[in-house]
Amino acid sequence: MTTDVLIVGAGLAGLSCASTLTRAGISSLILEADDDVGGRARTDQLDGFLLDRGFQVFSTAYPEAKHILNYDSLKLHNFYPGALVRFEDRFHRASDPFRYPLHAIQSSMNPIGTLVDKFKIVAWRRRVLTGLVGDLFQKTETTTMTHLQSMGFSQVMIDRFFRPFLGGVFMDQSLRTSSHMADFMFRMFASGDIAIPENGIGALAQQLAQRLNAEQIRTGEKVVNIKGTTITLASGETLTARHVVIATEGPTATQLVPQLETRPYHQTTCLYFSTSEPPRTGPYLILNGETNGIVNSLCVLTQVSPSYAPPGQHLVSVTTGENSMSDKGNIQAAVRSQLMQWFGKLVNNWKHLRTYYLVQAQPDQSPPLRSTKQMNPKIGEGLSLCGDYCATATFDGAIGSGRRAAEEIMSKFKT
Ligand SMILES: Cc1cc2nc3c(=O)[nH]c(=O)nc-3n(C[C@H](O)[C@H](O)[C@H](O)COP(=O)(O)OP(=O)(O)OC[C@H]3O[C@@H](n4cnc5c(N)ncnc54)[C@H](O)[C@@H]3O)c2cc1C
């Protein structure tokens, strides 16, 4: 089979690239090392439970995703807009004041920040919702921590809410991530719903893959070398096309093209437990507002979408803080011990299903983040890059990066 474009990697970036090329009538073939599509955004099935490879949520406001994904067929189930914060032996509700004004008034006096902090949230919300999404990436850049401090948030608000919340999103509890990402994610939370698809987060990639012909994706095919526009597979087979797109994670791209430089990656650990009784009801993300303990956040996923477990069962997902992987042997015991303080002895009855140790979870996004103009760097004639590390480390960043790579090829093929 001859093809115009070879794409290495069937994560969201590679699939978005192939999907855009297909719509333009350009043929492509994806080579994927793993046994299925999705990359980091995959869902495993275990005895009727849906286990996303790490706790992942989708924002319906993602600007790139809106154009390419069909939300109706994803059957999205929404989280409560806000969170529960565990602090001083209680769960305190932090609500989006625009969607749940009554809850916001009730929570205005809780110890998760001062009343002034709550007004500052409203002001930040107004600022990030002004103008185009791209404008947020043109502002003066600093770290998230400095940004929060310069907006006047109290240290209490930062430690009890933003550190577990944004620190969990960025897998960076020190909040060294770019302020551009903080603004971008805050806009996404403020302007869309936070959701999970009924069939798990892997449904995003499955939907894109279903738009391609089955022969357009070859799984179990690791690319080991790229020379010009010829690639070599681990099997020894070589393939040549007019153009090659590397849509792998950054470190693999560096192995294939040694002159490339990529950033270090953040890691995270996600533990899944099943239980017949949910420890909390309601579709909440629960944050650890204490500055100690191994747990960063917890979610009873079946309270958001019952499809995540067989009937009569509940699925609890626990995400730990960034440095917890150094003590793999004790993670489960440490998590259980902390959650016993939150939910009591019930935790002893939880059945451990699986732990995901995600070493290359998200590229570091500390400043300077690429400006929109620098995204998808060019690396040579007939060779392009795409992936979340070329944009923002989100589903949306990966999808947008794949689209841009495809559009560059489309304009090149026209000339
Ligand atoms: C635990 C966790 C939580 C996250 N939470 C969120 C969230 O809540 N919201 C959000 O928007 N984003 C989240 N993300 C980020 C999001 O998952 C990623 O940004 C996105 O999926 C990256 O897509 P990608 O296509 O760029 O890369 P990947 O998904 O990594 O795809 C790269 C593909 O290339 C393949 N590959 C690698 N090497 C080779 C080779 N030599 N030959 C052939 N194929 C190869 C890989 O197998 C993989 O399939 C999270 C990520 C993790 C890990």
* Nearest alpha carbon, ligand 1 atom 31: 11
Average of per-residue pLDDT across 308-337? 90
- What pLDDT, on the 0 to 100 scale, is given for residue 263? 86
- Whether the per-residue pLDDT at 386 is higher than 60: the answer is yes
Structure token pair of residue 171: 């897998």
pLDDT tens digits along 198-220: 999 999 999 999 999 999 999 99
Task: Answer yes or no: is the C-beta of 269 below 6 A from any ligand 1 atom.
Answer: no
- Whether the per-residue pLDDT at 65 is higher than 70: the answer is yes
Residue 183: band (very low, low, confident or very high) from pLDDT cuts 50, 70, 90: very high
| 3-7, 106-110, 129-133, range with the lowest pLDDT | 106-110
- What pLDDT, on the 0 to 100 scale, is given for residue 131? 97
Q: What is the DSSP string of 171-206?
A: T-TT--SBHHHHHHHHHHHHHS-EEEETT-TTHHHH
Structure token pair of residue 85: 């914060």
pLDDT tens digits along 254-269: 999 988 877 899 999 9
- Whether the per-residue pLDDT at 373 is higher than 60: the answer is no
Task: Answer yes or no: is the C-beta of 205 below 6 A from any ligand 1 atom.
Answer: no
Contacts of 215 (CB under 8 A, 6+ apart): 1, 29
pLDDT tens digits along 71-102: 999 999 999 999 999 999 999 999 887 887 77
- Whether the per-residue pLDDT at 325 is higher than 90: the answer is no
- What pLDDT, on the 0 to 100 scale, is given for residue 146? 98
Sign of the four-CA dihedral 394, 195, 272, 103: positive
pLDDT tens digits along 299-313: 999 999 999 999 999
* Overall pTM > 0.95: yes
User: Is the distance from CB of 149 to CB of 126 less than 8 angstroms?
Assistant: no
Structure token pair of residue 207: 């939907």
Domains of the chain: 5-42+202-263+368-414 (3.50.50.60), 43-77+196-200+265-363 (3.90.660.20), 80-192 (no CATH)
User: Is the distance from CB of 94 to CB of 161 less than 8 angstroms?
Assistant: yes
Which ligand 1 atom is nearest residue 40's CA? 29
Q: How far is the CA of 89 from the centre of ligand 1 (A)?
A: 36
C-alpha distances in angstroms, 198 versus 204, 223, 299, 307?
11, 33, 16, 6
Q: How far is the CA of 394 from the centre of ligand 1 (A)?
A: 9
Residue 318's DSSP bridge partners are: 271, 298
Which ligand 1 atom is nearest residue 387's CA? 26
What would the 3-class secondary structure string for 316-348 be?
A: EEEEECCCHHHHHHHHHHHHHHHHHHHHHHHHH
- Whether the per-residue pLDDT at 369 is higher than 90: the answer is no
240 three-state secondary structure = strand
- What pLDDT, on the 0 to 100 scale, is given for residue 141? 96
Give CA–CA dist 66/85, Å, rounded: 30
C-alpha distances in angstroms, 377 versus 83, 286, 329?
37, 38, 40
29 class by beta-carbon count within 10 Å (0-12 exposed, 13-18 middle, 19+ buried): buried
Element (H, E) at 267: strand 265-275
Structure token pair of residue 289: 């507002």
